[in-house]
Amino acid sequence: MTHSELAWEFAELFSELRVEQINEVLAKNVPLETLDFFRKYADDFGRSVRIEGDALARLPNLLLLGYLLRVLEERLIDEDPESDA
pLDDT recorded at residue 83? 53
pLDDT recorded at residue 1? 74
Give the C-alpha separation, 61 to 14, whole Å: 12
pLDDT recorded at residue 48? 97
pLDDT recorded at residue 20? 93
User: Which segments of the chain have a pLDDT < 70?
Assistant: 80-85
Q: Residues 46, 55: contact at Cβ < 8 Å?
A: yes
Query: Percent of the chain having pLDDT more than 90?
Result: 44
